[in-house]
Amino acid sequence: MSATLETRLGYAPQSAATLAAYLSCIPRVCAILGGDPSAWRIEEVGDGNLNLVFIVKGPMGGVAVKQALPYVRLVGESWPLPLSRAHYEHMALTEQARLTGRLVPEILHYDETLALIVMELLEPHIIMRRGMIAAAVYPKFADDISTFMARTLYFTSDLALTADRKKAMIAAFAGNTALCKITEDLIFTDPYRVAELNRWTSPQLDAYAARWREDGDLKVAVSRLKLKFLSCAEAMLHGDLHTGSIMLTPDDTRVIDPEFAFMGPMGFDAGAIVANFVINYFSHDGHEEAPGARDAYRERVLAMLETIWTSFREKFLDLWRNNATGDAYPTSLFQGVDGEARLEAERQAYMDRLWADTVGFAGAKMIRRILGLAHNIDLELIADKDRRATCEARALTLARDMMVNAGSYRSVADVANAARRLRVEMKSY
Choice between 122 and 274, CB closer to ligand ADP: 122
Q: How many residues bind ligand ADP (CB under 6 A)?
A: 19
The rounded distance, in Å, linking the Cα atoms of 237 and 273 is: 13
Angle at 109 between CA 107 and CA 111, to 5 degrees: 125
Residues 6 or more apart whose CB falls under 8 angstroms from that of 122 comprise: 64, 105, 247, 254, 256
Among 89, 111, 234, 257, binds Mg ion (CB under 5 A): 257
Q: How many Å apart are CA 352 and CA 17, to the nearest integer?
A: 53
Q: For residue 282, list its beta bridge partners.
A: none
- The DSSP output letter for 293 is T
Least separation in angstroms between CB 337 and ligand ADP: 52
The single-letter DSSP state of residue 195 is -
For ligand ADP, give the closer residue by CB, 107 or 230: 107
Centroid of chain to Cα 166: 22
In the complex with ligand ADP, the residue whose CB is nearer, 50 or 169, is 50
Distance CA(326)–CA(166), nearest Å, equals 9
Residue 256 Cα to chain centre, angstroms: 9
Q: Where are the alpha helices (DSSP H) in 214-265?
A: 216-231
The reply on whether position 259 binds ligand ADP by CB under 6 A is yes
Rounded to whole angstroms, the Cα distance separating 423 from 286 reads 12
288 contact, one of Mg ion, ligand ADP, none, CB 5-8 Å limit per kind: none
Instruction: Please give the residue whose beta carbon sits closest to ligand ADP in the complex.
Output: 48
Look at residue 121 and give the partner it binds from ligand ADP, Mg ion, none, a contact being a CB closer than 5 to 8 Å depending on partner kind: ligand ADP
Choose which of 256, 270, 274, 412 interacts with ligand ADP (CB under 6 A).
256
Taking CB under 6 A as the rule, does residue 122 contact ligand ADP?
A: yes
Q: Which of 127, 128, 187, 415 is close enough to bind ligand ADP by CB under 6 A? A: 127
Q: How far is the CB of 49 from Mg ion (least distance, A)?
A: 6
Which parts of 36-55 interact with Mg ion (CB under 5 A)?
48, 50
**Cβ proximity of 414 and 408 under 8 Å:** yes
Strand ranges for 94-214 from DSSP E: 107-111, 116-120, 126-127
- Closest to ligand ADP by CB, 119 vs 153, is 119
Residue 29 or 50 having the CB closest to Mg ion: 50
Q: Among Mg ion, ligand ADP, none, what binds residue 406 when CB lies within 5 to 8 Å by partner kind?
A: none
**Minimal distance in Å, beta carbon 324 to ligand ADP?**
34
Q: In what order do the strands lie in the sheet with 252-255?
A: 126-127, 246-249, 252-255
Pairing of strands 116-120, 62-67: antiparallel
Which CB, 84 or 204, lies closer to Mg ion? 84
Candidates 7, 406, 33; CA nearest to 221 is 406
Task: Give which of 238, 93, 240, 236 is closest to 158, Cα–Cα.
Answer: 236
Q: Which stretch binds ligand ADP (CB under 6 A): 91-99, 114-122, 201-209, 390-398?
A: 114-122
- Piece of the chain touching Mg ion by CB under 5 A; list 167-175, 257-265, 266-274, 339-347: 257-265
53 binds, among Mg ion, ligand ADP, none (CB under 5 to 8 A by kind): ligand ADP
- The Cα 286–Cα 390 span in angstroms is 9
Q: Which does 127 bind (CB under 5 to 8 A by kind): Mg ion, ligand ADP, none?
A: ligand ADP
* E strand or H helix that includes residue 249: strand 246-249
CA distance 188 to 210: 16
| Contact characters 44-83, ligand ADP, x per CB under 6 A | -xxxxxxx-x----------x-x-----------------
Least Å distance, CB 259 to Mg ion, is 5
Nearer to Mg ion, 177 or 202 (CB): 177
Per the CB < 8 A criterion, the answer to whether 276 and 242 are in contact is yes
Binding segment for ligand ADP among 118-126, 159-167, 294-302, 319-327 (CB under 6 A)? 118-126
Q: Applying CB under 6 A, which of residues 103, 119, 179, 279 lies at the interface with ligand ADP?
A: 119
Write down the least CB distance from residue 47 to ligand ADP, Å: 5
- Please state the closest distance from residue 48 (CB atom) to Mg ion, in A: 5
H helices of 138-195, in order, are: 141-154, 163-173, 177-186
Is the Cβ of residue 258 or residue 326 nearer to Mg ion in the bound state? 258
Does residue 338 sit in helix, strand or coil?
A: coil
Residues numbered 309-348 forming contacts with ligand ADP, rule: CB under 6 A: none
Residues of this chain that interact with Mg ion (CB under 5 A) are 48, 50, 257
Residues of this chain that interact with ligand ADP (CB under 6 A) are 45-51, 53, 64, 66, 105, 119-122, 127, 256-257, 259
